[in-house]
Chains A and B, each alone.
Chain A
Amino acid sequence: MKKKKSNQLSALEGLGSEVVKQINKGKNPEIPVPIRALSNVEFDEKTKTVRLGKKISARYFFNVAHAKKFLQTLEVASISKNLLKEQKHASLRDVFYMAKRTIPGTKVNIVDEQTESDSVLEDLELITDQSREQLNVNANKNGSVAGKVVIEDKGDTIDWGRLGSGGWSIPSNVENIKFKKISAKYILYMEKAAVWERLHEDKFWDKQNCIIMSSQGQTTRGIRRLLQRLTSEFKIPIYILTDMDPWGHYIYSVIKFGSINLAHISEKMAIPNVKFLGIHTSDIEKYKLEKHLIKFKDTDLSRLKQIKEYAWFKDNKQWQKEFLEMKKLGAKAEIQALSSRGISFISDTYLPEKIKSKEFLD
């Protein structure tokens, strides 16, 4: 354990000493950062995951466009080193506040928004080849789970079926959880916490003998890691339920193939065998949701166009057909649109029918 920590420390110190070396040479100091963008992302057909390419950009200090980012990188590295030294964990928000201050003599803040420090942290993961959690920075807890599972975490035994209305909230680091008893047949992951609450109230996981899991919006690393562990360690199939819109599809895409932003950790995160349960374009007619659609805005359309072009969707005929249908509809449907057929229509009819018929998109 201690040794591991020192690995991380030396990685950070290595970054610092590399910069100092350049300064001592009288050179404009630079930090090499692999590019995290669609242009530097490849789809690995073998592993079916999104992988980071080999493009690297140099971040210079004496460059008007780079100076601030350069400063932020070193600042966050320094913060992270302190955390490791003191063996404390901080949240992303904490890091933001630790870095946020005005540079004396200017009106410039080191960071103005949390997104800046978050993004620098992700860079740092790449530079040091250490994950965020390994650098003692955790994301906020986000997401709930319920089902016929018993685990042990930090010495506590927790039954996911006996945690009242809230369920178990998933921590950002799930590496140290031990699964003691699992009898669920499948995992249902949904985009929306509200839908999760609906299913939880209907005791859907009990009736169907499954695990229901959700986050609000984008799937956090903790959830993705938890999903991956469950499916790889216990071979439980995972079904994804999202809104019928490009954003929902991207949530599915991230879980299945990994995200562009975090392509460097895809191998730890991607779960190539998840299946897309809904909402399908074919469900619109089938479940009479025509009158409960939301018209596409321009942003929706352009996002749809982008997703359609992603390498991992491009050759997938099923998905291309789905995208085409959606474009024809010119509208999106939320999961909650199903409530138009009755509040428990989703748990009583829709999901059981779907799972029974195994009409999934892959």
Chain B
Amino acid sequence: MTKTIAEELAKKQQSISVSEFFTKNRHLLGFDNPKRALLTTIKEGVDNSLDACQEAKILPTIKVKIKQLEEERYSVEVEDNGPGIVKKQIPNIFAKLLYGSKFHTMIQSRGQQGIGICMDPDTLIPLGDGKVLPIGEIAEKKPNADLFVLTPDLKLGLGKIDKFWKIPSPKYLINLKTLGGKEINLTPENPVLIRSENGFEWKEAVELKESDYIAVSRKLGSHIKNIKIPLFDLLDNNINIDNPEFLDFLLYKLRKKYGTWDKVGRRFGISADRIKGWRKKYIKRRPTKALIKKFCKDLDISEERIIEECTRVGRLGTYVNVPQYINEKFMRFLGFISGDGYSQNKIHNRWGRNISFWNNNEYLREEFKNIVEDLFGIKCKCIKHSKGRGYMMQFSSSLVAELINKCDIPSGKKSDIFRLNSFLHRKDLLRPYLQALFDCEGSVSKERRNVNFMIRNKEMTYYLSLFLLQFGVISSINKLREDTRLCIRGINNLRKFQKEITFSHTTKKSDLNYIIKMESNKSNIETIPFIKKQLLNLKNSLNLSKKDFLYPRLLSKDKTVTFYTLEKIVNKLLSSVDNTGRIPIELQELYCLLNSDVVWTKIISRKTVSPKSPYVYDLTMKQGNNFIANGVLVHNSAAVLYSQLTTGKPAKITSKIGKNYPAHYYELKIDTKNNEPEIVIDKEVSFNSDHGTKVELEMEAIYQKGTRGVDEYLKQTSIANPHAEIIYVDPEGKKIIFPRASEELPKEPKEIRPHPHGIELGIFISMLQNTNSKTLTSFFTNDFIRVSSITAKRICDEAALKSTEKPQLMDRDGAEKLYRILQKTKLIAPPTNCLSPIGAEALQKSLEKEIPAEFFASVTRPAAVYRGNPFQVEAACAYGGQLEQEGPIKLFRFANRVPLQYQQSACAITKAVVDTNWRNYTLSQSSGALPQGPIVIAVHLVSIWVPFTSESKEAIAHYPEIIKEIKLAVQEVGRKIASHIRRTVRVREQRERASLFEKYIPEIASSLSNLTKSKKTDIQEKLNKILKKSLKDILQELPEEDKEDIKEEKKNEKKEKQSTLSSRRSRK
């Protein structure tokens, strides 16, 4: 029965079209965020212009124009009246646009769109041909390699590398570890594919949680190129080739060509005597490999012929055989050596270097002996260990030892550093290598039913696990004291291991057989989490009953299922929907999941670590935007922006630097090989202003309105930069002008040296390395503020370091020690006059011109300090008018005059606003939420170092000092709103009450007329008269209840000088 289903499945596989599935998954796997691309580019352009104008003390007028070229293709134009750019600096614009080039300057500057969505240089990338290389080496060694890319049907296909990126490291990286022992360091924004209740999702590394399921590769179907690798290539050029017949053949041919021996000698720069000596054959010395190659080239003899002839090589008259090509036997030999072998470092005078193989299995020793004889023509000696520690096979050859070293297996104590050279990473070659390695080092645990491999070489286990994936064998890695253990579990994996690699070691082989027999089908370790939703969708769209699912429980509880279980479910469903003919998309989806090349594994640890290298790397793929790194499926979204910016079209820059200078038009391209921009066109043009710069870019993007779009960005930018005029032409051709609110240029922020308490360890270390100071004392006093030479000396003393020591030579431990002491040392707070806030007045004016409200207020707090960094908070609010009455208030967040549009909920500003009790200010607010009401609140944080939560710089980190200041600022504007509301409410209530009296009068009159028999109308009339006369006095008797909450807050707050302002605008 099962077989027929399997057969049908195979048939159906043909008929399942992935096209429907493809359209659904395309955006997901593409993850190109074209919506954000437009904004990011404009943001960089506008920030750049504002900064340039500020430096040149020009009141900026910035024009932004978006034109739609095709459906998802736009041209973006940013023009300013700034100082212009000289040619030499033109390439920097690109750098600025691409990376946000301002790194680590201690000056309040507009946000940097630092992009750096990449990984550590030693991250291992499996290539399509079976090689595994660290990402840092791919650029050098295989710039055009094929990598594994997840296709929409969840298979790992091959994609070509398009571009390679090397970017300065960010402040910290995210370190992820999975249940299976996979580990990767990524920049915080690097997205990783995860599976959640909602299906697939790309999530930035920084947002990942422990227990999220991420995609790791299940198998890597590398393609073998059937090219033989000549062993000859491995040999050094100065090695001697021992083949007298071939030599004679070459020499006579050469003499024929050049006439005499002398002429031959002259042609190749060798003496005739030497040639004579070779011919006489008694000279032990033979010509070198280099020479033979020269001869052959001269005589047009093919490479194959050389390889064929040169199979006996050596030095100093000692020769060994070598195989023509790297073959399975050679790989098995390498496997043995990697496992239980040893090659001597010391060269024995007579014998060369000893190579030995220690193993207690007689069969393996015998095999080793045979292989060595076969490969090199050398006989091994069997030696019993003097202290009874078993047996070994030994032979001596420097040449073989050299060959072994060439394959990245070093001599001496090799076990914790050996690798396998990447040219040997080929499925056909890896198989015998792995088998031999497992024969030596692998063991089969009958109790645990696994095959494991213990080795003191953590890096190599990562390689091995990627090698094994090429055979579809999933392995997990875990640490065991000093050793690392690679472990193969689960029936499918063990079967595949048995089929593809297995042991030749007899006991291990039978043990493997045994555990496979014993292991149940359910021990499938490949699992799929969160399939409830999909099953439910399937049930609903096909009108299935619960019984149609083998495990109805899965419909109610989101359990992680094994592939084995899922396979059974899918088979059952396939057979039950067979009659309908068409296979529904939901089932296709499950089918794709089941047959996918990725498997889902839990994150067990997520840490932030400081980067090991000054650079991180990323790749852009020609197809797809993802690849496998350290076995984990990662996204290369950083590069999306680059590729979008560089969609073939060059960037166009027009610049004029002064009235009497001509305007230049440049076209700029990026040389992706060197990752450097170059100017391709430079000509003089006319420009409609005395000075300024215009940048035009063409890009693939989607135009989006709303809070995260360009329109909102420009509006908020205009609020945060009252001195700027921004003119915006949107894709529909509509022109929006954001006028200037203040004619005053902002105060220039001052650059200050970093304060020791505001610096992080990573930066501290790089400062140590890059300083110009010659001693530690001068390093502390010159490179930091607020450190006196006495303090510096004390710090050095405490760290037990000489104050005259060179900072550049400090090792990591020393640096860490210094850093820790530095953080503990009491220092004067940094100066705060380096900041340049917008100013309460200007900020409020800005708000007044952009927000149609009736009441405005603003405040600038005095500067404060967090962790050695000075900062200052400003807040402004708008109330009422045409603002929406219902719903939560609108919160504008600014950092150093740049609007923050994303990640609102993660931001310290939001937290401070939410934590403020707005009910004190007459607004309604549910706990943990923004208050409700027709209010806009703008909060601006200026600092020399704004602590963003991540490199995307969209949310401010929750430092208590910062939150406190924001709260105080927000409370102050809150009070002003409250008193305004109370004022308006009171007027309204008074009016209501006056009318109430009118309504009461008839009632009073009728009661009184009943009591006294006076006429009702009479009384009524008189009462009305009194009311009219004394209305004013009556209303003034209202209770005063206004000042209570102000008292309450004053307690928390010291009286400080504050520049505050409030105004009311009459709008009717």
A17 at the interface (CB under 8 A from B): yes
A103 at the interface (CB under 8 A from B): yes
**Are A26 and B997 touching (Cβ within 8 A)?**
no
Q: Whole-angstrom distance between the alpha carbons of A130 and B1006 in the complex? A: 23
A164 at the interface (CB under 8 A from B): no
Q: Whole-angstrom distance between the alpha carbons of A226 and B1003 in the complex? A: 39
- Of the candidates A20, A61, A104, which one forms a contact with B1012 in the assembled complex, judged by CB atoms under 8 Å apart? A20
> Interface centre among B997, B1006, B1011, by most A CB within 10 Å?
B1011
Q: A106 — nearest CB in chain B belongs to which residue?
A: B999
B769 at the interface (CB under 8 A from A): no
Closest Cβ of chain A to B213, distance in Å, is 51
**Are B1011 and A77 touching (Cβ within 8 A)?**
yes
Closest Cβ of chain A to B231, distance in Å, is 92
CB contact under 8 A between A62 and B1011, given known A20-B1019, A70-B1004, A75-B1003: no
- Of the candidates B1004, B1008, B1026, B1038, which one forms a contact with A28 in the assembled complex, judged by CB atoms under 8 Å apart? B1026
- Of the candidates A17, A23, A105, which one forms a contact with B1022 in the assembled complex, judged by CB atoms under 8 Å apart? A23
**Are B997 and A67 touching (Cβ within 8 A)?**
yes
- Of the candidates A26, A62, A63, A75, which one forms a contact with B1007 in the assembled complex, judged by CB atoms under 8 Å apart? A75
Which residues in window 998-1045 of B have CB below 8 A to A? 999-1000, 1002-1004, 1006-1008, 1010-1012, 1014, 1019, 1022-1023, 1025-1027, 1029-1030, 1034-1035, 1037-1039
Q: Whole-angstrom distance between the alpha carbons of A104 and B1022 in the complex? A: 20
Which residues in window 11-64 of A have CB below 8 A to B? 12-13, 15-17, 19-20, 23-24, 26-29, 61-64
Q: Whole-angstrom distance between the alpha carbons of A26 and B1028 in the complex? A: 11
CB contact under 8 A between A23 and B1012, given known A71-B1003, A71-B1004, A105-B999: no
B993 at the interface (CB under 8 A from A): yes
Which residues in window 298-349 of B have CB below 8 A to A? none
**Are B1026 and A74 touching (Cβ within 8 A)?**
no
**Are B1010 and A78 touching (Cβ within 8 A)?**
yes
A108 at the interface (CB under 8 A from B): yes
Which residues in window 125-139 of A have CB below 8 A to B? none
B996 at the interface (CB under 8 A from A): yes
**Are A104 and B996 touching (Cβ within 8 A)?**
no
**Are A13 and B1012 touching (Cβ within 8 A)?**
yes
- Of the candidates B997, B1006, B1038, which one forms a contact with A62 in the assembled complex, judged by CB atoms under 8 Å apart? B997
**Are B999 and A103 touching (Cβ within 8 A)?**
yes
A6 at the interface (CB under 8 A from B): no
Within 8 Å CB of B1039, what residues of A? 65
> Interface centre among B996, B1004, B1006, B1014, by most A CB within 10 Å?
B1004
Q: Whole-angstrom distance between the alpha carbons of A15 and B1010 in the complex? A: 12
Within 8 Å CB of A110, what residues of B? 1003
A225 at the interface (CB under 8 A from B): no
Within 8 Å CB of B997, what residues of A? 62, 67
Q: Whole-angstrom distance between the alpha carbons of A62 and B1001 in the complex? A: 10
Q: Whole-angstrom distance between the alpha carbons of A233 and B760 in the complex? A: 95
Closest Cβ of chain A to B888, distance in Å, is 29
**Are A103 and B1000 touching (Cβ within 8 A)?**
yes
Closest Cβ of chain A to B97, distance in Å, is 63
- Of the candidates B996, B1008, B1014, which one forms a contact with A74 in the assembled complex, judged by CB atoms under 8 Å apart? B1008
- Mostly helix, strand, loop or mixed at chain B's interface? helix
A82 at the interface (CB under 8 A from B): yes
- Of the candidates A26, A63, A81, which one forms a contact with B1025 in the assembled complex, judged by CB atoms under 8 Å apart? A26
CB contact under 8 A between A28 and B1037, given known A16-B1012, A105-B999, A106-B996: no
Which residues in window 944-999 of B have CB below 8 A to A? 993, 996-997, 999
- Of the candidates A29, A61, A63, A74, which one forms a contact with B1011 in the assembled complex, judged by CB atoms under 8 Å apart? A74
CB contact under 8 A between A64 and B1022, given known A81-B1011, A82-B1010, A103-B999: no
Q: Whole-angstrom distance between the alpha carbons of A360 and B1002 in the complex? A: 57
Within 8 Å CB of A103, what residues of B? 999-1000, 1003
Within 8 Å CB of A77, what residues of B? 1007, 1011
**Are A19 and B1008 touching (Cβ within 8 A)?**
yes
**Are A64 and B1008 touching (Cβ within 8 A)?**
no
Within 8 Å CB of A81, what residues of B? 1010-1011
CB contact under 8 A between A108 and B996, given known A62-B1027, A64-B1034: yes
Closest Cβ of chain B to A261, distance in Å, is 25
Closest Cβ of chain A to B260, distance in Å, is 123
Give B73-95 as 1s and 0s: 1 = Cβ < 8 Å from A's Cβ atoms. 00000000000000000000000
Closest Cβ of chain B to A148, distance in Å, is 48
Q: Whole-angstrom distance between the alpha carbons of A62 and B996 in the complex? A: 11
- Of the candidates A12, A24, A63, which one forms a contact with B1037 in the assembled complex, judged by CB atoms under 8 Å apart? A63
Q: Whole-angstrom distance between the alpha carbons of A71 and B1002 in the complex? A: 10
**Are A63 and B1034 touching (Cβ within 8 A)?**
yes
**Are A64 and B1011 touching (Cβ within 8 A)?**
no
Q: Whole-angstrom distance between the alpha carbons of A64 and B1026 in the complex? A: 15
Closest Cβ of chain A to B517, distance in Å, is 69
Within 8 Å CB of B1007, what residues of A? 16, 71, 74-75, 77-78
Q: Whole-angstrom distance between the alpha carbons of A23 and B1030 in the complex? A: 13
Q: Whole-angstrom distance between the alpha carbons of A61 and B1037 in the complex? A: 13
Within 8 Å CB of B1010, what residues of A? 16, 78, 81-82
- Of the candidates B1014, B1026, B1037, B1038, which one forms a contact with A27 in the assembled complex, judged by CB atoms under 8 Å apart? B1026
Q: A66 — nearest CB in chain B belongs to which residue?
A: B1037
Q: Whole-angstrom distance between the alpha carbons of A106 and B1011 in the complex? A: 24
Closest Cβ of chain B to A178, distance in Å, is 36
Q: Whole-angstrom distance between the alpha carbons of A81 and B1025 in the complex? A: 28
- Of the candidates B993, B1011, B1026, B1029, which one forms a contact with A23 in the assembled complex, judged by CB atoms under 8 Å apart? B1026
Q: B1002 — nearest CB in chain A belongs to which residue?
A: A104
Closest Cβ of chain A to B87, distance in Å, is 77
**Are B1008 and A16 touching (Cβ within 8 A)?**
yes
> Interface centre among A23, A78, A104, by most B CB within 10 Å?
A23
Within 8 Å CB of A68, what residues of B? 1000
Within 8 Å CB of B1011, what residues of A? 12-13, 15-17, 74, 77-78, 81
Closest Cβ of chain A to B1004, distance in Å, is 6
CB contact under 8 A between A64 and B993, given known A17-B1012, A28-B1026: yes
> Interface centre among A62, A75, A77, by most B CB within 10 Å?
A62
**Are B999 and A108 touching (Cβ within 8 A)?**
yes
Q: A63 — nearest CB in chain B belongs to which residue?
A: B1037
27 A/B residue pairs, CB under 8 Å, sorted by A: A12-B1011, A16-B1007, A16-B1010, A16-B1012, A17-B1012, A20-B1014, A23-B1008, A23-B1023, A23-B1026, A24-B1022, A26-B1029, A28-B1030, A61-B1023, A62-B997, A62-B1030, A62-B1034, A63-B1034, A64-B993, A64-B1034, A64-B1037, A67-B996, A67-B997, A67-B1000, A70-B1004, A78-B1007, A82-B1010, A103-B999
Q: What residues of chain A have their CB less than 8 Å away from a CB belonging to chain B?
A: 12-13, 15-17, 19-20, 23-24, 26-29, 61-65, 67-68, 70-71, 74-75, 77-78, 81-82, 103-106, 108, 110
Query: What are the 3 tightest A-B residue pairs by CB atom distance, in nearest-first order?
Result: A16-B1011, A74-B1007, A16-B1012
